[in-house]
Chains A and B, each alone.
Chain A
């Protein structure tokens, strides 16, 4: 009897143990396994991704945070048309929509900016979190929030927007309908705050504005020497460019900023340390060559005589896209365009009177300071004649599946210390200063004319942007708003002295920043080229840091200046143009260098392909492959021997690698090839003489050899689309959720830009054309929903790929279409 009871106790204990083990695993997961119970529960787990993919139907939804009912109608592509009776309810509805369709994306963006990625993805994100904690986007956002007056429209908009987001978070959490990635990662989003929105603004500023130029220069000066560095990477470009504001210019002194030559071994060590850290950061942490186009015409340039505008911001092309398209009407607002999930207003679009779009100014906005420190004064730095204590901030970074990391951030008057290895190096970044961007955007959206538009941008500080403008009265303009830091002394393109003598003393006054209005040419355009000519009296950056090589701007200038009576179709042709402007300049020189040279049959065939080529980097063009491979080889053959001889540390800093798209390499080689073919740079460091023609011939031979090895012996089959691709990766870096690579046309400086290398993952993230009196249209490579099963996940990609557009309709037009489900949100 006792044995039987003993066995039953043992059985009970085993059952208890097994039950507890399974329950624990199901409730908490283990290692990489998520909590299995909540994750796979068919009622509220990952399976809800299927029901969440349904397109909206007409229904009434309860939204307790509203004051009045709001109507949201969807068109067949998912664009949302909001009709609200109060401005507050409009911003609430935008928040509601963003959260309904992009909540995980929003949470990911705020986590990146707030240094909280490790909390949900583990130690892999620690380098990013530490960097963001140091840089201080969250600190800036908190300061911006504190500085907003209680009654400011921006504050009201942020509060209403947050409430809209939180209505969705609360409801979807309660019903188990949160996006699937929350479930797989095993966490629930915390409620949204206005500071979160300002952090998202900060992350965008960082992507567009934070650069490592002075660190790159420091490494080059250390290896190549100051003279050679400044000769090959000068402040002003050596080639002929097309600034949009050709002057004349006035020097109007320096306006205050609201807020606070040579490289030593210690500095170089510190620079190397910081550069090493940057290598482990996500792609969006630094500016990585994602650029943009915009232009406008009026008068005889337009078929109708009315103003026309085009804009295509080039950003990382991800799924879901950075953009969410909305159209809205409320008592104070009537607009249509694209918004960034997390921000309560469109960035690009039009209202009833004006249209606008953005490109990056690319001026230098990041300065590095070598702080003077001493073991005799621990925790202090020398500034303006005295030792001052560094401000110390202690942060704790929670880490999933690991212990929390404690981080200490030291701040000087210039900004956060990035390293103390060798030399104490701090960073002074314009994006760390409060910038009332939302207030500016609200002003733009309500503007009726250029005066109001220009006035709205007065306080836009970062990221500095070229705002193109066209209104319904036939006026056009362009203004490069933002901070342009001016230093007291020193070379701002190198790390500066932190003792106070090389501090930022102000910015270019707003009236003197690059701008034009109704120019006699009837056209304005920007494509990240240097906005002003060489006579501009202020320093705004060098060729390296970080204006583009200007070939997109040259192509746009060429197109607009040679066309009159343009239509939307002309603008679409230009936006989708894959013509390589540089090829048009250099290929004739190459053909000339090859003339009367002994060539093999294969080389002759390649030469003939180039001779009959129009410069179009079409996916089906063999000449395009030959040109690009040639230019890459020509660059490497010219600069490579010097890089090798002077040990330029390309392994440490990949920015220093010789590659197309690094503006000064292209500009130098273009200028030398066209007008200085015996430039000493063509010689070898050993002293052996070479000319441009000789280097070109050698590069051409290598090109044929390279392409033969890669694509076979027949040059006619060396199609560009076989070696050049586009892909749209998933924002969460999950390969199956991305759009796989396909052979594609374009290159880094065609108007239809393909940034990011031979598998391009950046480029036109939104294409928009507005023709006053005719209509407006737009498209982006993605879809409105982040749910990978939704028909709106990537539905716009085929149209984008084929150069098509969708009309930007009014709500009334959408309601007349057969498909127009409407949500009625009721308080």
Chain B
């Protein structure tokens, strides 16, 4: 990987994480998906796009939980929510996992759509 590619990837990731985090503050949970679509659409290399999209979605959702865990009872919140969902109260980890899996899924389908669209568009325009 070229140094500039690596830097571009890092920059994209930082911008994407910030965008996802900001969207979440306004209840726009689909921000992770839209951001990943854009990554897939504009970043060269499908595997690179997927990796950046996954890391962005996971960080966009996960860093916020980590940050809150520094001064909020996040583990307690996970246990309480698990109880409310009919799970055992000690299965708070399931709630955390569910949150991160959802972020991962949103990133995956977003990037997949972006990459697929880019490829399709490039084929169509090449044909023309």
Contact = CB atoms under 8 A, between A and B. Distances in A.
Nearest to B127: A5
A8 B113 contact: no
Interface centre among A27, A734, A736 (most CB of B within 10 A): A736
Contacts of A40: 29, 95, 98-99, 102
B85 interface: yes
Given A22-B106, A41-B24, A46-B77, A736 B116 contact: no
A50 B99 contact: no
B52 interface: no
B14 interface: no
Contacts of B110: 19
Contacts of B112: 15, 18-19
A737 B29 contact: no
B68 interface: yes
Interface string A11-46: 110111011011100110000000011101111111
Interface string B87-118: 01100000100110010011001101101110
Given A19-B33, A736-B89, A789-B76, A4 B25 contact: no
A45 B81 CA distance: 11
B64 interface: yes
A38 B106 CA distance: 13
Contacts of B48: none
Counting chain B CB atoms within 10 Å of each CB, the highest count among A14, A23, A27 belongs to A23
A736 B29 contact: no
A184 B73 contact: no
Contacts of B64: 42-43
Contacts of A54: 72
B24 A180 contact: no
A51 B115 CA distance: 38
Contacts of B27: 38, 41, 43-44, 176
B113 A50 contact: no
A153 B79 CA distance: 45
Contacts of B13: none
A49 interface: yes
B81 to A, nearest CB: 5
A15 B112 CA distance: 6
A15 B73 contact: no
B98 A737 contact: no
A167 to B, nearest CB: 20
A492 to B, nearest CB: 45
Given A26-B30, A43-B27, A51 B72 contact: yes
Contact of A23 (B24, B33, B77, B85): B33
A50 B25 contact: no
A105 to B, nearest CB: 15
B83 A47 contact: no
Contact of A184 (B74, B85, B116): B85
A138 B98 CA distance: 40
A574 interface: no
A46 B81 contact: yes
Interface centre among B21, B72, B88 (most CB of A within 10 A): B72
A454 to B, nearest CB: 47
A523 B77 CA distance: 50
Contact of A49 (B26, B80, B124): B80
B65 A47 contact: yes
Nearest to A4: B123
Interface in A144-198: 176, 180-181, 184
A550 interface: no
A789 B123 contact: no
A251 interface: no
B44 interface: no
Contacts of A303: none
B81 A789 contact: no
Nearest to A22: B109
B120 A12 contact: yes
B81 A16 contact: no
Nearest to A13: B116
Q: Is the interface of A mostly helix, strand, loop or mixed?
A: helix
Interface string A578-589: 000000000000
Of B80, B89, B115, the most chain A CB neighbours within 10 A belong to B80
A180 B88 CA distance: 17
A45 B29 contact: yes
Nearest to B115: A15
A54 B115 CA distance: 44
Contact of A789 (B33, B77, B85, B116): B77
A47 B89 CA distance: 15
B61 interface: yes
B85 A50 contact: no
Given A49-B77, A736-B83, A9 B120 contact: yes
A788 interface: yes
Given A19-B33, A49-B80, A11 B119 contact: yes
A170 to B, nearest CB: 15
Contact of A8 (B33, B109, B123): B123
A47 B68 contact: yes
A3 to B, nearest CB: 11
A812 interface: no
A561 interface: no
A15 B24 contact: no
B72 to A, nearest CB: 4
A735 B102 CA distance: 27
Contacts of A789: 73, 76-77, 80
A709 interface: no
A281 interface: no
B61 A42 contact: yes
A53 interface: yes
A5 B123 contact: yes
A43 B99 contact: no
Contact of B116 (A1, A11, A23, A49): A11
Given A5-B124, A736-B89, A43 B24 contact: yes
B20 to A, nearest CB: 10
B106 to A, nearest CB: 7
Contacts of A23: 30, 33, 109
B99 to A, nearest CB: 4
Nearest to B114: A15
A22 B105 contact: yes
A53 B73 contact: yes
Given A41-B24, A43-B64, A36 B80 contact: no
A736 B124 contact: no
Query: Which of B79, B123, B127: most chain A Cβ within 10 A?
Result: B123
A735 B80 CA distance: 11
A11 B88 CA distance: 40
B1 interface: no
A18 to B, nearest CB: 5
A36 B30 CA distance: 11
A42 B99 contact: yes
Nearest to A37: B29
A744 B35 CA distance: 57
B119 A8 contact: yes
Nearest to A176: B27
A180 B113 CA distance: 33
Interface in B38-84: 61, 64-65, 68, 72-74, 76-77, 79-84
23 contacts: A15-B109, A15-B113, A15-B116, A18-B109, A18-B113, A19-B109, A19-B110, A19-B113, A23-B109, A26-B30, A26-B102, A27-B30, A36-B98, A40-B95, A42-B68, A44-B25, A44-B26, A47-B74, A50-B74, A180-B81, A184-B84, A737-B80, A789-B80
Q: Lowest 9 A-B CB distances belong to which pairs?
A: A736-B83, A43-B24, A37-B29, A50-B72, A41-B29, A15-B116, A50-B77, A42-B64, A736-B89
Interface of A: 1, 4-5, 8-9, 11-12, 14-16, 18-19, 21-23, 26-27, 36-38, 40-47, 49-51, 53-54, 176, 180-181, 184, 732, 734-737, 788-789
Given A38-B29, A46-B77, A184-B81, 9 more contacts: A5-B123, A12-B116, A12-B120, A19-B33, A19-B113, A40-B95, A44-B27, A50-B72, A789-B80
